[in-house]
Amino acid sequence: MTWLKKEQGEIKEIVFDALKKNTNYAKEEILGVPASYLDSRVFSQDDRILEDAPFLSTLVQNPNHIGCHTLENSESFFKGTHSIERDVIAICAEDILHAKPDSYDGYVASGGTEANIQAIWIYRNYYLQEKKAKHEEIAVICSEDSHYSMDKAANLLNIGIYKVKTNDVDFSLDANSIQKQLENAAKEGRKYFIVVVNMMTTMFGSVDDFQLYVDAFEKKKLPFKMHVDAAFGGFYFPFSNPKNQLNFANKHIDSVTLDAHKMAQAPYGTGIFLARKGLMRYSTTMEASYVEGEDSTLIGSRSGANAISIWMILSKYGPNGWIEKVFILQKRTDWLCQQLDEMKVEYYRNEFSNIVTIKSRFLTKELAEKYGLVPDNHHSPKWYKIVVMDHVEIEKVQPFLDEVRTLECRGSRPTPTL
């Protein structure tokens, strides 16, 4: 096991030791790197502030984590903190997603959008290089509930995209719609596919059945690469449902996106991209010859402090602490659903999710806005969601539920639309 719980003193010691192995702009004769520590006229570098603050110290020292450090070479100027990023990737790939050691590559991206685009970019290039495919022969296929980054990727990469309908009760994939979309794709000359499977969708927390895609593609003998968008669910669903198959133990899964700045409560800019060993070469930019090890990432230069923040959080909890964290959130979500059931308020929740999405006819727009519920559509919402995060304690949810009861008693709920 790569993932071990560490005490705060040990965490601090490991981070500061890594920083000592990095280039120190203030103490070394470094003349050719186009970067420096944060401007001391603006950002304090007072040792009294930083001596007990490893994350802030990393921000100030400003290591560049350009490239993918699980590959053979990366910038030696920042080898200390690069090693911590490799530990983060190992924890996510091996301990959370059941990859075998040395069977994967990955890096800390700017977020789930970038990581999803990275995956689709890799598979597009794979088809272009290995199958001599044309752009117009390649397409993404995904659920209609998938994140908008799939549309963004298809647009950027000049390939097609096909959306599979979902059931309007439990938001599961419609097997007939998969067949229909493959038929539509064939008529339009598509031959090579990039399948995106959701591990907890943004709006509903729904989870796709990967096997429906596998069966459809194998029946038609069509080539596909499969990516899991676990931007929301990656730090939650594997713990609430440890028997799930959306991981690297599944031979059909080629890559996974996670977002540490959601359930892991890391700073924004801490998405994670993971892929099976050998795939990153399809996104290597050979022209980045001045970069040691070249660059296989979409983002290029990025802050090493983001990787440090993820490692610190995961190390502080350890695997058992993380299981307990998710367990508590599950229980809170169960409680919320019980209250809604008692009021006969209609909602959707995947049993392993902490997202509860309420039908809009049971709320008013004013009530939803007062409590920061997010609509599926700002113009004409059909659903509003509650996400049970660390700060969403029962004491904060109770006033909302009291107001929902008041609506019910006064008969002031909006009239259902037929």
Q: Which amino acid is at 313?
A: I
pTM for this structure?
0.94
pLDDT of residue 265: 96
Give the model confidence (pLDDT) of 218-233 as tens digits: 999 999 999 999 999 9
* pLDDT > 90: percent of the chain: 87
**Residue 417 predicted with pLDDT over 80:** no
CA distances from 146 to 160, 169, 178, 203 (A): 15, 16, 14, 9
Looking at domain 318-409, what is its CATH homologous superfamily? Aspartate Aminotransferase, domain 1 (3.90.1150.10)
**Residue 418 predicted with pLDDT over 50:** no
**Residue 90 predicted with pLDDT over 90:** yes
Q: How far is the first Cα of the chain from the last one, in angstroms, to the nearest whole number? A: 54
* pLDDT > 70: percent of the chain: 96
Q: Mean pLDDT check: name the lowest of 45-49, 97-101, 358-362.
A: 45-49
Average pLDDT over residues 365-379: 95
Give the model confidence (pLDDT) of 94-133 as tens digits: 999 999 999 999 999 999 999 999 999 999 999 999 999 9
Using only the alpha carbons of the chain, give its radius of gyration: 23
Give the model confidence (pLDDT) of 309-324 as tens digits: 999 999 999 999 999 9
The three-state (H, E, C) secondary structure of the chain, written as one string: CCCCCCCHHHHHHHHHHHHHHCCCCCCCCCCCCCCCCCCCCCCCCCHHHHCCCHHHHHHHHCCECCCCCCCCCCCHHHHHHHHHHHHHHHHHHHHHCCCCCCCEEEEEECCHHHHHHHHHHHHHHHHHHHCCCCHHHEEEEEECCCCCHHHHHHHHHCCEEEEECECCCCCCECHHHHHHHHHHHHHCCCCEEEEEEEECCCCCCCECCHHHHHHHHHHHCCCEEEEEEECCHHHCHHHHCCCCCCCCCCCCEEEEEEECCCCCCCCCCCEEEEEECCCHHHHCECCCCCCCCCECCCCCCCEHHHHHHHHHHHHHHHHHHHHHHHHHHHHHHHHHHHHHHHCCCCEECCCCCCEEEEEHHHCCHHHHHHCCCEECCCCCCCEEEEECCCCCCHHHHHHHHHHHHHHHHHCCCCCCCC
**Residue 416 predicted with pLDDT over 70:** no
Q: pLDDT tier at 1 (50, 70, 90 boundaries)?
A: confident
Q: pLDDT tier at 33 (50, 70, 90 boundaries)?
A: confident
Q: pLDDT tier at 29 (50, 70, 90 boundaries)?
A: confident
Q: pLDDT tier at 288 (50, 70, 90 boundaries)?
A: low
Q: pLDDT tier at 414 (50, 70, 90 boundaries)?
A: low
Higher pLDDT, 294 or 372: 372
Q: pLDDT tier at 412 (50, 70, 90 boundaries)?
A: low
Average pLDDT of the chain is 94
C-alpha 357/C-alpha 114 separation (Å) is: 26
Question: Is 231:115 a contact under the CB 8 Å cutoff?
Answer: yes
Same fold, 76-317 and 318-409: no
**Residue 28 predicted with pLDDT over 90:** no
Give the model confidence (pLDDT) of 148-186 as tens digits: 999 999 999 999 999 999 998 999 999 999 999 999 999
Main-chain dihedrals φ then ψ at residue 228, nearest 5 degrees: -105, 120
Beta bridge partners of 109: 271
List the chain domain ranges.
76-317, 318-409
**Residue 286 predicted with pLDDT over 80:** no
Average pLDDT over residues 246-265: 97
**Residue 413 predicted with pLDDT over 80:** no
* CATH class of the domain whose range is 76-317: alpha beta
Q: pLDDT tier at 411 (50, 70, 90 boundaries)?
A: low
Q: pLDDT tier at 253 (50, 70, 90 boundaries)?
A: very high
Q: pLDDT tier at 290 (50, 70, 90 boundaries)?
A: low
Q: Which amino acid is at 192?
A: Y
Q: How many CB atoms are located within 10 Å of the residue 255 CB?
A: 28
pLDDT of residue 34: 84
| CB-facing half-sphere around the CA of 329: CA atoms within 13 A | 26
Q: How many CB atoms are located within 10 Å of the residue 33 CB?
A: 12
Give the model confidence (pLDDT) of 321-337 as tens digits: 999 999 999 999 999 99
**Residue 10 predicted with pLDDT over 70:** yes
pLDDT of residue 231: 98
